[in-house]
Amino acid sequence: YPHLQRLPDPLIQSDIQSVVTGTVPPWRHSGLSVLLRDTMCVTCMVVRLVTGRETDLRCCRSPRGLFSKRQAEAGPPSQSAPGWKLFGKVPLREGGQKDSRTIQQEYEARTGKLSPTAVPDGCPHGRRKNLEFQPLSTTALILEDRPANLPAKSSEEAQRHRQEYDEMVAEAKKRELKDARRKVKQMKERFRQEDIIANTMVVWNTEILPNWESMRNTRRARDLWWQGLPPNVRGRVWSLAVGNELNITPELYEIFLSRAKERWKSFSETGSEAEMASLADRESSLDLIKLDIARTFPSLFIFQKGGPYHDLLHSVLGAYTCYRPDVGYVQGMSFIAAVLILNLEEADAFIAFANLLNKPCQMAFFRVDHELMLKYFAAFEAFFEENLPRLCEHFRGYSLTPDLYLIDWIFTLYSKSLPLDVACRVWDVFCRDGEEFLFRTGLGILRLYEDVLLQMDFIHIAQFLTRLPEDMASENLFSCISSTQMVSGNRKWTQVRRAVALEVKRGLVRGQRRPAF
């Protein structure tokens, strides 16, 4: 066969040589696999490979009849050639690839069978009758018989495939039904909560807020407080509950904001912190605010530079730094100010912020009063041992003291550690009950995850309590908080704190160390 020398690929030459001589069937050769789509006799195959053109001799259409002798079909060459050939392209077939539905319909028409998922003639195309789930790809794979050139399935294999298919569809329907029920339940719960919030908001606006002094300590008001304040009245209730013992006015806020802007301008002009650090106060911490704002609720993207609340948060923190130079800015303040800004106007947020940080507990932490902080830690541990003795002993076994996790919680009032909606509900009751509820919330968190924490070592406990789960539900947390009794040895929080203060003074507090900052 001298014309085979024109083929450039020696592998293809050897393949065709073996095919022509009849030594090996053509479908065993990788070089000729493309010919299996449009099979032909030896003469047509060689002419097509050498010249790149079709011949007038069209032979059998399946591999089984590749070498059978049949008469050539009359007429011009067909244009239904495959999309690719060995040395070039030919036009694509009309109609393109068939989808699984078309393949299934052709199969049913050929075999006379009608599958359960077939679409009746009376139904519009694409609509399924009384069927919620129809995995077409799975149907095509399992319900289709094998091609004619492959051995047919045995009855046992076909039955097994049908059973597996039915199990897959039943499992898929079961999952869909479960998801649908879960979504319906979530929607009903959401509507229920919206109705509760709407009714509660009416009570707050018409009964409690107009008569604040006489209604704030009533049983009804306290119960509604515990359930969580409606967002529309939350800011106003917080302002009234925190109060304004410092007598700060909006005009005073503008004065300190102007002073902060002057400091920022002076700092940007000098470019040196040394001159500002030489001041007697701590206004040099103004530049630290810019660094901390970028880390405040980063997932919300509203307090970062360019966000709608960036300048507002910067102003409130800067004004407070000038208002209280003895305190200055401490990391964690940005989270407290951000929560207030989300619920109050600018001036009102500053007034609530300054009065909130003026509380004894917050002032002890933000001024880093080590002795007073140790008293709070010791009082917390007394209630910890009373409510959760097993977990308390587990922590002591690893020398894990409360300061390792309480500092971050108290500094940010849980706004950094808890989901924002849960943190706001903690703030609601904190404004009602004061500092005692902050430590009660800490015990509630430990109770909620007690089983998990008992299985952890020192490192994992510290990491877990630093980064609490984001899917924490407020109802679960408040259920644990309500189960926590702030009574130790028949003494309440204030009594325990006084007793602990005496022990700290005498140096009798066990297992505490000075907090590290």
Q: What is the pLDDT of residue 193?
A: 85
The DSSP-derived string for 196-250 is HHHHHHHHIIIIIGGGHHHHTTSHHHHHHHHH---HHHHHHHHHHHH--TT---H
**pLDDT classification of 5: cutoffs 50, 70, 90:** very low
Q: What is the pLDDT of residue 291?
A: 82
Locus of tokens 């059973």: 163
Picking from 44, 43, 12, 45, the residue whose alpha carbon sits closest to that of residue 30 is 12
Question: For 143-180, how does the pLDDT look when each residue is reduced to its tens digit (9 = 90+)?
Answer: 566 777 888 888 888 888 888 888 888 898 899 999 99
pLDDT at 277 over 50: no
For the chain, the average pLDDT equals 77
Picking from 216, 224, 215, the residue whose alpha carbon sits closest to that of residue 197 is 224
**Direct distance between the N- and C-terminal alpha carbons of the chain, in angstroms, rounded to an integer:** 90
| Surface-to-core class of residue 377, CB atoms within 10 Å of its CB (0-12 exposed, 13-18 middle, 19+ buried) | buried
Picking from 386, 415, 381, the residue whose alpha carbon sits closest to that of residue 399 is 381
SS3 category, 85: strand
Lowest mean pLDDT among 2-11, 96-105, 430-439, 444-453: 2-11
Q: What is the pLDDT of residue 161?
A: 82
Q: What is the pLDDT of residue 264?
A: 78
**pLDDT classification of 347: cutoffs 50, 70, 90:** very high
Instruction: Compute the radius of gyration of the chain from its Cα atoms.
Output: 39
Higher per-residue confidence, 282 vs 100: 100
**What's the rounded mean pLDDT across residues 53-79?**
45
pLDDT at 505 over 50: yes
Q: What is the pLDDT of residue 124?
A: 46
Locus of tokens 């790809």: 137
Question: For 379-418, how does the pLDDT look when each residue is reduced to its tens digit (9 = 90+)?
Answer: 999 999 999 999 999 999 999 999 999 999 999 999 999 9
**What's the rounded mean pLDDT across residues 485-514?**
74
Question: For 356-384, how does the pLDDT look when each residue is reduced to its tens digit (9 = 90+)?
Answer: 999 999 999 999 888 899 999 999 999 99
Q: What is the pLDDT of residue 159?
A: 86
Distances (CA, A) of 454 to 43, 392, 398, 402, 498: 81, 10, 11, 16, 31
CA angle 391, 396, 399 (to 5 degrees): 135
Picking from 206, 216, 247, the residue whose alpha carbon sits closest to that of residue 428 is 216
pTM over 0.75: no
**pLDDT classification of 467: cutoffs 50, 70, 90:** confident
**What's the rounded mean pLDDT across residues 246-250?**
95
Using CA atoms, how far apart are residues 292 and 337, in angstroms rounded to an integer? 12
Question: What is the CB neighbour count within 10 angstroms for residue 507?
Answer: 6
Q: What is the pLDDT of residue 89?
A: 44
Token code pair at residue 439? 């430590």
Distances (CA, A) of 426 to 114, 196, 430, 450: 62, 18, 6, 20
Using CA atoms, how far apart are residues 351 and 373, in angstroms rounded to an integer? 25
The DSSP-derived string for 348-405 is HHHHHHHHHHTSHHHHHHHTT-HHHHHHHHHHHHHHHHHH-HHHHHHHHHTT--THHH
pLDDT at 511 over 50: no
Higher per-residue confidence, 507 vs 83: 507
Q: What is the pLDDT of residue 141?
A: 43
Q: What is the pLDDT of residue 449?
A: 94
